[in-house]
Protein backbone atom coordinates (compact mmCIF):
# COMPACT_ATOMS: atom_id res chain seq x y z
CA UNK A 1 0.00 0.00 0.00
CA UNK A 2 1.13 3.53 -0.80
CA UNK A 3 0.02 6.61 1.16
CA UNK A 4 -0.57 9.53 -1.23
CA UNK A 5 -1.50 13.19 -1.30
CA UNK A 6 -1.61 15.90 -3.97
CA UNK A 7 -0.05 19.25 -3.05
CA UNK A 8 1.55 22.49 -4.11
CA UNK A 9 5.11 23.01 -2.92
CA UNK A 10 5.86 26.38 -1.41
CA UNK A 11 8.86 28.47 -2.46
CA UNK A 12 11.78 28.37 -0.02
CA UNK A 13 11.34 32.03 0.98
CA UNK A 14 7.69 31.36 1.92
CA UNK A 15 8.62 28.26 3.94
CA UNK A 16 11.35 30.28 5.67
CA UNK A 17 8.83 33.02 6.52
CA UNK A 18 6.40 30.47 7.96
CA UNK A 19 9.16 28.70 9.91
CA UNK A 20 10.06 31.94 11.67
CA UNK A 21 6.53 31.98 13.15
CA UNK A 22 6.90 28.43 14.51
CA UNK A 23 7.77 29.02 18.16
CA UNK A 24 6.53 29.73 21.67
CA UNK A 25 3.63 27.27 21.90
CA UNK A 26 3.94 24.52 24.54
CA UNK A 27 2.91 21.09 23.27
CA UNK A 28 3.33 22.08 19.61
CA UNK A 29 5.03 19.68 17.22
CA UNK A 30 6.11 22.06 14.46
CA UNK A 31 6.22 21.09 10.79
CA UNK A 32 9.76 21.31 9.45
CA UNK A 33 10.13 24.02 6.80
CA UNK A 34 11.06 21.41 4.15
CA UNK A 35 7.77 19.58 4.79
CA UNK A 36 5.47 22.62 4.47
CA UNK A 37 3.07 22.42 1.54
CA UNK A 38 -0.49 23.22 0.50
CA UNK A 39 -2.50 20.00 0.27
CA UNK A 40 -5.00 19.93 -2.58
CA UNK A 41 -6.22 16.40 -1.82
CA UNK A 42 -5.21 13.80 0.74
CA UNK A 43 -5.67 10.47 -1.05
CA UNK A 44 -4.70 8.03 1.71
CA UNK A 45 -3.45 4.48 1.35
CA UNK A 46 -4.00 2.85 -2.03
CA UNK A 47 -2.66 -0.20 -3.84
CA UNK A 48 -0.23 0.01 -6.76
CA UNK A 49 -3.00 -0.18 -9.40
CA UNK A 50 -4.97 2.75 -7.93
CA UNK A 51 -1.69 4.66 -7.48
CA UNK A 52 -0.98 4.32 -11.23
CA UNK A 53 -4.60 5.23 -12.13
CA UNK A 54 -4.49 8.37 -9.96
CA UNK A 55 -1.09 9.30 -11.36
CA UNK A 56 -2.45 8.99 -14.92
CA UNK A 57 -5.72 10.82 -14.17
CA UNK A 58 -3.80 13.79 -12.76
CA UNK A 59 -2.03 14.13 -16.15
CA UNK A 60 -5.36 15.39 -17.54
CA UNK A 61 -5.68 18.29 -15.06
CA UNK A 62 -5.35 21.64 -16.81
CA UNK A 63 -5.05 25.18 -15.55
CA UNK A 64 -2.91 28.23 -16.03
CA UNK A 65 -0.25 29.32 -13.54
CA UNK A 66 -1.56 31.69 -10.86
CA UNK A 67 -0.40 33.68 -7.86
CA UNK A 68 -0.98 32.84 -4.20
CA UNK A 69 0.00 34.49 -0.94
CA UNK A 70 0.04 33.44 2.69
CA UNK A 71 -2.46 35.51 4.63
CA UNK A 72 -3.20 35.02 8.32
CA UNK A 73 -3.23 32.14 10.78
CA UNK A 74 -5.77 30.03 12.60
CA UNK A 75 -6.42 26.68 14.22
CA UNK A 76 -8.46 23.52 13.72
CA UNK A 77 -10.98 22.78 14.88
CA UNK A 78 -12.38 26.32 14.90
CA UNK A 79 -14.32 25.53 18.10
CA UNK A 80 -13.19 23.35 20.97
CA UNK A 81 -9.70 22.25 21.86
CA UNK A 82 -7.21 23.35 19.17
CA UNK A 83 -5.31 20.46 17.57
CA UNK A 84 -3.63 22.15 14.58
CA UNK A 85 -2.11 25.58 13.93
CA UNK A 86 -2.15 26.72 10.32
CA UNK A 87 -1.30 29.56 7.96
CA UNK A 88 -4.04 30.54 5.55
CA UNK A 89 -3.94 31.57 1.91
CA UNK A 90 -5.50 34.65 0.34
CA UNK A 91 -8.70 34.11 -1.66
CA UNK A 92 -7.92 32.55 -5.02
CA UNK A 93 -10.49 31.38 -7.56
CA UNK A 94 -7.77 29.66 -9.64
CA UNK A 95 -6.72 27.66 -6.55
CA UNK A 96 -10.30 26.55 -5.85
CA UNK A 97 -10.75 25.61 -9.51
CA UNK A 98 -7.50 23.61 -9.49
CA UNK A 99 -8.52 21.77 -6.32
CA UNK A 100 -11.86 20.81 -7.90
CA UNK A 101 -10.09 19.47 -11.01
CA UNK A 102 -7.66 17.52 -8.81
CA UNK A 103 -10.57 16.09 -6.79
CA UNK A 104 -12.31 14.96 -9.98
CA UNK A 105 -9.10 13.37 -11.29
CA UNK A 106 -8.48 11.47 -8.05
CA UNK A 107 -12.05 10.21 -8.19
CA UNK A 108 -11.55 9.07 -11.82
CA UNK A 109 -8.44 7.29 -10.57
CA UNK A 110 -10.59 5.11 -8.32
CA UNK A 111 -10.64 6.93 -4.97
CA UNK A 112 -13.94 7.88 -3.30
CA UNK A 113 -14.82 11.58 -3.23
CA UNK A 114 -13.65 13.46 -0.14
CA UNK A 115 -16.76 14.90 1.49
CA UNK A 116 -14.91 17.62 3.39
CA UNK A 117 -14.96 21.22 2.23
CA UNK A 118 -11.61 22.42 0.86
CA UNK A 119 -10.02 24.83 3.33
CA UNK A 120 -6.69 26.03 1.86
CA UNK A 121 -4.01 26.13 4.54
CA UNK A 122 -0.47 25.14 5.41
CA UNK A 123 -0.23 23.04 8.57
CA UNK A 124 2.35 24.60 10.88
CA UNK A 125 1.94 22.50 14.04
CA UNK A 126 0.04 19.65 15.62
CA UNK A 127 -0.90 20.33 19.23
CA UNK A 128 -0.99 18.09 22.27
CA UNK A 129 -2.15 19.32 25.69
CA UNK A 130 -1.58 22.91 24.59
CA UNK A 131 -3.22 25.53 26.80
CA UNK A 132 -5.83 27.55 24.89
CA UNK A 133 -4.23 30.70 26.30
CA UNK A 134 -0.94 29.84 24.54
CA UNK A 135 -2.80 29.29 21.28
CA UNK A 136 -4.56 32.64 21.68
CA UNK A 137 -1.26 34.41 22.33
CA UNK A 138 0.34 32.80 19.28
CA UNK A 139 -2.64 33.75 17.09
CA UNK A 140 -2.50 37.35 18.31
CA UNK A 141 1.26 37.55 17.74
CA UNK A 142 1.05 36.08 14.21
CA UNK A 143 -2.37 37.27 13.05
CA UNK A 144 -0.88 39.57 10.42
CA UNK A 145 1.41 36.86 8.97
CA UNK A 146 1.78 37.48 5.23
CA UNK A 147 4.02 36.49 2.36
CA UNK A 148 4.69 38.20 -0.91
CA UNK A 149 2.63 36.72 -3.75
CA UNK A 150 4.27 33.71 -5.36
CA UNK A 151 3.52 31.98 -8.64
CA UNK A 152 2.14 28.44 -8.68
CA UNK A 153 3.39 26.77 -11.86
CA UNK A 154 2.80 23.12 -10.98
CA UNK A 155 1.50 20.65 -8.43
CA UNK A 156 2.74 17.25 -7.30
CA UNK A 157 1.66 13.76 -6.35
CA UNK A 158 3.50 12.82 -3.16
CA UNK A 159 3.95 9.56 -1.36
CA UNK A 160 4.25 9.72 2.40
CA UNK A 161 5.94 7.11 4.55
CA UNK A 162 5.22 7.26 8.26
CA UNK A 163 8.11 6.47 10.55
CA UNK A 164 10.05 7.78 13.49
CA UNK A 165 8.95 11.24 14.53
CA UNK A 166 7.96 12.55 11.10
CA UNK A 167 6.54 11.38 7.79
CA UNK A 168 8.93 11.30 4.85
CA UNK A 169 7.42 12.83 1.70
CA UNK A 170 8.60 12.00 -1.80
CA UNK A 171 7.50 13.56 -5.09
CA UNK A 172 6.14 10.75 -7.27
CA UNK A 173 5.04 12.95 -10.18
CA UNK A 174 4.99 16.65 -11.12
CA UNK A 175 2.20 18.21 -13.16
CA UNK A 176 2.90 21.56 -14.83
CA UNK A 177 0.04 24.03 -15.06
CA UNK A 178 -0.73 25.02 -18.62
CA UNK A 179 -3.89 26.33 -20.18
CA UNK A 180 -6.23 23.91 -21.97
CA UNK A 181 -5.07 23.26 -25.50
CA UNK A 182 -1.38 24.07 -24.87
CA UNK A 183 1.52 21.67 -24.69
129 found inside a domain: yes
- Measured between alpha carbons, how far is 70 from 56 in angstroms, rounded to an integer? 30
**What would the pLDDT profile of 39-92 be if each residue is shown by its tens digit?**
999 999 999 999 999 999 999 999 999 999 999 999 999 888 999 999 999 999
Which helix (H) or strand (E) segment holds residue 16: the answer is: helix 12-20
Active site residue 75: no
Respond yes or no: is residue 121 known to be catalytic: yes
- Does residue 58 contact residue 177 with C-beta atoms inside 8 Å? no
Q: How many domains does the chain have?
A: 1
Residue at 182 is within a domain:
no
Share of the chain above pLDDT 70, in %: 97
Residue 73 dihedral angles phi and psi, to the nearest 5°: -135, 165
Catalytically annotated residue among 37, 75, 156, 169: 37
User: Domain of 36: which CATH number?
Assistant: 3.90.1140.10
Given the residues 75, 121, 156, 169, the one annotated as active site: 121
Note the pLDDT tens digit of each residue in 142-160.
999 999 999 999 999 999 9
Instruction: Say how far apart CA 90 and CA 78 lie, in whole Å.
Output: 18
Per the structure, the complete domain to which residue 16 belongs is given by 2-176
Question: Does some domain include residue 60?
Answer: yes
Residue 106 lies inside a defined structural domain of this protein: yes
Amino acid sequence: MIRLFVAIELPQEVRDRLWRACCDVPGARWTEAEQMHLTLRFVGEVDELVFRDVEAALEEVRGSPFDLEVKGVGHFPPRGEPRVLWAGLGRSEPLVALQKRVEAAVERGGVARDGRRFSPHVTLARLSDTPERAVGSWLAMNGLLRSDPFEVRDFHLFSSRLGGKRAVHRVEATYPLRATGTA
